[in-house]
Amino acid sequence: MTQKKLSVRIDGELVNATEGQSILQVARAAGKYIPTLCYLEGLSSVGACRLCIVEVSGSGRLLPACTTPVQDGMSVTTNSPKLARYRRITLELLFAERNHTCSVCVSNGNCELQAMAKTLGVTSIRYPHNFPKLPVDLSHTRYVLDHNRCILCTRCVRVCAEVEGAHVWAVTARGIQSKIVSDLNQQWGEASNCTSCGKCVQACPTGALAEKGFAVEEMTKRSDHISMIAGRKGVHA
């Protein structure tokens, strides 16, 4: 069945879209930049990080571009002083919530959160840091989970469920107490469903999931490989 063709305006430019596409998909196809952290091509979209918020004419609130479907005649603004302000606040809150000490992180220089801060001009945090006492799970033979660096984007949860099919990861608790857990809140090394494929590590945008044996600044990841694998499996965002 042929999908309906739509016409929408993005930053004043008339672009073509297809029914069922998200604002983010249409914007990126048109060469428009919208920042994201939780979005990863090939995985389902959840709107967790809220960095992709956009203004839509006629709407009284900002909408997440990754989970909002386009509609015929829709007019979208992807960049404005208001959006830039809210995106910076979102990033600052992410940094303040947990213990993101870049100078001692294995992903320093190769971190999407760090890179996003540079892109959006976040050079200082105006909010008090929480400094929570969070554990580091070293039980897996090959990988490590550092809750201090997790931003709860759930990319690991989705890639494990939708691409690997192992369903190891989940989110427990609510709000600021939320954290990633393996199986029924077991240590990662005891998770019987884990195949040790490493897809969750490669999908993670920060140093929260990493391979053992890497020193500061040595951990690089290839999330584009995950998108390629997901595309082959027919998973769509």
- The pLDDT, as a whole number, for residue 226 is 85
Whether pLDDT at 198 is above 90: yes
Question: Is the distance from CB of 136 to CB of 105 less than 8 angstroms?
Answer: no
Choose among 7, 51, 13: nearest CA to 32.
13
Question: Is the distance from CB of 129 to CB of 93 less than 8 angstroms?
Answer: no
- The pLDDT, as a whole number, for residue 43 is 96
- The pLDDT, as a whole number, for residue 177 is 94
- What are the residue boundaries of the structural domains of the chain, listed by start? 5-79, 106-223
- pLDDT-derived band of residue 236, with 50, 70 and 90 as boundaries? very low
* 67, 73, 202 from 169: Cα distances, Å: 22, 39, 14
Whether pLDDT at 202 is above 60: yes
Strand, coil or helix: 199: helix
pTM, full prediction: 0.93
Question: Is the distance from CB of 235 to CB of 43 less than 8 angstroms?
Answer: yes
pLDDT tens column, 80-109 = 999 999 999 999 999 999 999 999 999 999
Q: Which residues touch 45 (CB under 8 Å, ≥6 apart)?
A: 22, 24, 38, 39, 66, 67, 237
- The pLDDT, as a whole number, for residue 233 is 64
Strand, coil or helix: 172: strand
Give the separation between CA 61 and CA 71, rounded to whole angstroms: 16
Choose among 166, 7, 131, 18: nearest CA to 73.
7
Which of 19-33, 46-60, 150-164, 214-228 is the least confident region? 214-228
pLDDT tens column, 113-161 = 999 999 999 999 999 999 999 999 999 999 999 999 999 999 999 999 9
- The pLDDT, as a whole number, for residue 234 is 59
Angle at 32 between CA 28 and CA 35, to 5 degrees: 80
The rounded percent of the chain whose pLDDT value lies above 90 is 91
What is the CATH topology of the domain spanning 106-223? Alpha-Beta Plaits (3.30.70)
What is the CATH topology of the domain spanning 5-79? Ubiquitin-like (UB roll) (3.10.20)
Question: Is the distance from CB of 223 to CB of 215 less than 8 angstroms?
Answer: no
- The pLDDT, as a whole number, for residue 237 is 43
Work out the mean pLDDT of the chain and round it to a whole number: 95
